Amino acid sequence: MRLRAFAKINLGLKIIGKRPDGYHEIQTLYQTIALHDRLSISLAGPPSAIRVECDDPRVAGGPANLVYRACELWSRAREFRGAIHVRLGKKIPIGSGLGGASGDAAAALLGLERLAGNRLNLESRLRLGAQLGSDVPLFFWGGRVLGCGRGEDVYPLWDLPARRCLAIFPGFGVSTAWAYGEAGRAAPSLQLTEKAKNPNMKRFGAWSHFPLSEWGPAENDFERVVFARWPELAQLKRRLIRAGAESASLTGSGSAVFAVFDSARKLHRASSFIPAGWQTFPTRTLTRAEYERLVFA
């Protein structure tokens, strides 16, 4: 079974407060894009074993790998006693905030379900994904998705018209734990929030935080601290907007910056503003229907 594991960008991200469980309450708009990793998954009979291989030597193949953990969780949930072998081809930069590891884990779960003919219902799949990471459940939907809670409470939204997208990786990652810690120090007024038992879009008030009928502008609360530490990222965002981007922002806690354009000409123009040595990924946004069609290669 061969699959594509797509990347995501955040069209806006608000940190609401810190929760009693130690996590932060956020509201965000996810959008899947065509940039992707590739997975090849095969199953065999007993004895039980999991093997994950990656073409990037920086990616661990054992329990520290999110794909490995996804295979473990799925095997336990479905009482699968056989062997699982995953080959992972990386293109999404590590530590970029583009959701590479989460997308890989979600694709692994989808591939295992289809290969084994033993599918989880949506609620069980979302619950399993949330155990792996906050960004994993969005990849069970694709397209444009509202994320609440830690980001794992996801609600599919209607798609906007397709756009060209440019993702830029400066060559270094940003620790999510560091970014949350710095954001908390920069905004001490963040209140301790109570974890919702039955979250919903109306309760979180997310409709007032993000533009839902257009592509921008995007506001990401991590920009305050990440841009202060790496001002070259803030400068890049300003250049992308001047080049005609409808929306430009840090994605997740960084370090990648993205821009959305309504024409290939504007994207090409913006590409000339990228600092030498930074990785650029010209791509496009994916609607939910495209995402569902293209996941299974």
The residues assigned a catalytic role are 8, 135
What are the phi and psi torsion angles at 15 (to 5°)?
-95, 115
**Which helix (H) or strand (E) covers residue 147, if one does?**
strand 144-148
Q: State how far the alpha carbon of 105 is from the alpha carbons of 1, 76, 144, 260, in Å.
A: 15, 15, 19, 26
3-state helix, strand, coil in the chain (%, to 5): 35, 30, 40
- Structure tokens, 238: 């300003």
DSSP 56-74: STTS--STTSHHHHHHHHH
253 closest CA partner among 172, 189, 192: 172
How many residues in the chain?
Answer: 297
Alpha carbon distance 143, 160 (integer Å): 9
- Residue 191 and residue 25: Cα distance in Å, rounded? 10
